[in-house]
């Protein structure tokens, strides 16, 4: 079953703890993205990566970190520096063979800080 998989679906974190969200794709896509979704605010870009070992900050990168050691994987770490981490997080990937390619999304991870 090809696609993009996020895990876990639900995640609870205590204040002051770091937590890592997993995103794996078997679509052979070079570009990968992390978005945060809050009610009424759409999809806000956290980080994105066009190729292995390279990534860029999006519009709301503060308090987050990523790595891109493998083409298939783009994990997102929500650090204790993120002041309001409770949100729905979506990962996406995209083929870079052309500039007009479709982005495919994972099913999302809902993070709750308790």
Partner 1 sequence: GENVEQHPSTLSVQEGDSAVIKCTYSDSASNYFPWYKQELGKRPQLIIDIRSNVGEKKDQRIAVTLNKTAKHFSLHITETQPEDSAVYFCAASIMDSSYKLIFGSGTRLLVRP
Residue 33 makes contact with partner 1 by CB under 8 A: yes
Q: Is 43 in the site for partner 1 (CB under 8 A)?
A: yes
For partner 1 (CB under 8 A), the number of binding residues is: 26
Residues 100/76/60/48 CA torsion (nearest 10 deg): -20
| Count of beta carbons in the 10 Å neighbourhood of residue 108 | 17
The residue whose two tokens read 């298939």 is: 72
Distance CA 86, CA 96 (A): 31
Binding segment (CB under 8 A) for partner 1, from list 10-18, 20-28, 69-77, 89-97: 89-97
Residues 69-88, interacting with partner 1 (CB under 8 A): none
Among 41, 70, 81, 112, binds partner 1 (CB under 8 A): 41
Indicate whether 61 belongs to the interface with partner 1 (CB under 8 A): no
* Pairwise CA distance, residues 62 & 65, whole Å: 8
At 88, list the tokens: 């729905």
Q: Which residues form the interface with partner 1 (CB under 8 A)?
A: 31, 33, 35, 40-45, 48, 50, 56, 58-59, 90, 92, 94, 96, 99-100, 102-103, 105-108
């Amino acid at each position: 079953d090809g696609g993009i998989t996020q895990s876990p679906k639900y995640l609870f974190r205590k204040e002051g703890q770091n937590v890592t969200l997993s995103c794996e794709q078997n679509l052979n896509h070079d570009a990968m993205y992390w978005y945060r979704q809050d009610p009424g605010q759409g999809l806000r870009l956290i980080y994105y990566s066009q190729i292995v070992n390279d990534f860029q900050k999006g519009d709301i990168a503060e308090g987050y970190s990523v790595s891109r050691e493998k083409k298939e994987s783009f994990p997102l770490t929500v650090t204790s520096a993120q002041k309001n981490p409770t949100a729905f997080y979506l990962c996406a990937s995209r083929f870079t063979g052309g500039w007009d390619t479709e982005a495919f999304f994972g099913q999302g991870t809902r993070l709750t800080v308790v």
